[in-house]
Structure 1
Amino acid sequence: MHIDFYPNPYELALEYEKNKIYTLFVTNLPELYEKHFSRFSNFKYIRLCLGYHPQVANEYPLDKVLFEKYISTTKYIGEVGLDFFSGISDREKILQIEAFKFVTGKEFNKGRIYTIHSRGAESEVFKILLENDVKLAIFHWYTGKISVLKQVVENGYYVSINPKMLLSKKGLNIISHIPEKQMLFETDGPFARINRKTIYPKDIPNFYDALTKEVEGFEKICFSNFRRLLIEKDLTRFK
């Protein structure tokens, strides 16, 4: 979820911490990670992620120096990826691809978990992850072809599911093609609103209940998968 798009980020962080909810707070720029780093670096249950969102590529060039400066301070990279959904120019695609190849580079990806944005560019994202030998990635709010999704999960990547996916046939179909051992939960707050309402920590138990109707034992499955992912993170440091 995107902590800095909420009106009171620090209060929200305290709420997650109080409720003991393990959470990845993604950022859209290295500059934003730097801005928030000191305030959000000492929590037990939440982790601030070093990110570069593809939708900002045309306006904010990737600060590679800043990314390299902070890479050693985190094991979590996100949100990063590609977005080729609508009306994007060839120049923008080139900028996004260059940035994504950089942040997933082999000198950075060992022992780190990536949160991936792939809208309209699922095949391209998957290809770059393979080229850079990225071991651990979470595809968030996947909306692409089932054929590519099958390749994603066959390669061992995780896919995070949010409550909005329950509201469409396509979302339900995607959920049905994700192996239980690779499912995770996301709110994508504050963007994935339900009935026009922003999602907060207090709402999460209700969404687990709703998702359990589609996947029996969903909450326990997600916790087990996340715990395994953290172990995998440490093991990949030495590969």
Structure 2
Amino acid sequence: MNNIIDAHIHLDLYKEKEIEHIMESLESARCTDLVSVSFHLESCRKNLELAKIYPQVKPAFGFHPEQELLTDHEAADLFQWMEANLDKMVAVGEVGLPYYSRIESEGAFSLEGYTELLDAFLRFAKKWDKPVVLHAVYDDAPIVCNLLEKHSIKNAHFHWFKGDNKTIERMIQNGYHISITPDVMYEEEIQRLVARYPLQQMMVETDGPWQFESEFAEKITQPNMIHRSVGRIAEIKQLDVHKVYEILYRNTKGFYQL
């Protein structure tokens, strides 16, 4: 096996024993780094503590959009905390827009506050020259592209991306990165994305503790699953698997300055 990096995981959301198991198994999985993204301020703090314990954990700080919007006071507290811990963070994330919450909502759902909050995160990232980890799929992706272009941000990572061909082409032209999850083993939509997107703008992730289907059903999501993803990417791209490992690893190292 070649070395890998999990470009997107919510390590803080695992149970304590699961965290211990994942960290103990990193060497055998040939995983050198985990980019652990945050859900909210408490999550940021937990990821920072994990990074102090485990040097392989590279924390990103932000606010996941698939939850109730922050109040102005809560947002101010989060940004103040992030600025106080700039030297500890590899990126701003996970941030974005609440596509799934909006689709599942039975009543009126205003996107305005979420868009304003994302704009604030992008201003923060631009000011402090930090990459951005994005939750932006389908109809939300063009909105996020508009905001990225507005702030002239190139270091954008769309994790587990899904969207139309026009947006995909726009993202490619803008130099944005995507990351591929283990569902590349069984999801045709993700396989088509892999075929279309340049390998030089691609990373691999687990998005754990999210659980996957097929061969991964009922298994705890952990970085060793990434090896199956890399093999499938190599098959789709019709490239030597060792070369694919090398490019994906280099992409992630470079993007996050690890």
* Length-normalised TM-score, structure 2: 0.79
Aligned to 1:155: 174
Aligned to 2:63: 52
d(CA) in 1 for partners of 2:60, 2:10:
10
**Structure 1: any 5+ residue segments left out of the alignment?**
234-239
Are the structure 2 counterparts of residues 145 and 192 from structure 1 closer, same or farther at C-alpha, using a change threshold of 3 Å?
farther
Aligned to 2:188: 169
Instruction: Give 2:23's match in structure 1, choosing from 8, 14, 18.
Output: 14
Letter of the 2:75 partner, please give it. D
Aligned to 2:130: 112
Aligned to 1:96: 114
Alignment RMSD: 2.4
Q: Which stretch shows the higher mean deviation, 125-134 or 11-20? A: 11-20
Q: Answer yes or no: is 1:229 the counterpart of 2:235.
A: no
Q: Is the 8 A contact 2:132 2:156 kept in 1?
A: yes
Instruction: Give 1:130's match in structure 2, choosing from 141, 149, 153.
Output: 149
What is the CA distance between 1:158 and its match in structure 2? 0.5
d(CA) in 2 for partners of 1:46, 1:55:
24
* Length-normalised TM-score, structure 1: 0.85
Are the structure 2 counterparts of residues 20 and 164 from structure 1 closer, same or farther at C-alpha, using a change threshold of 3 Å?
closer
Are the structure 2 counterparts of residues 156 and 175 from structure 1 closer, same or farther at C-alpha, using a change threshold of 3 Å?
same
Aligned to 2:82: 70
Q: Is the 8 A contact 2:90 2:256 kept in 1?
A: no
d(CA) in 2 for partners of 1:38, 1:230:
19
What is the CA distance between 1:208 and its match in structure 2? 2.3
**Structure 2: any 5+ residue segments left out of the alignment?**
1-8
d(CA) in 1 for partners of 2:125, 2:204:
29
SS class of match (1:143): coil
Q: Answer yes or no: is 1:3 the counterpart of 2:3.
A: no
Which structure is richer in relative contact order (CA contacts within 8 A, separation 6 or more)? 2
Residue identity (%): 20
Letter of the 1:150 partner, please give it. E
Letter of the 1:149 partner, please give it. I
Aligned to 2:224: 202
Equivalent residue pairs, number: 231
SS class of match (1:28): coil
d(CA) in 2 for partners of 1:94, 1:16:
43
What is the CA distance between 1:104 and its match in structure 2? 0.9
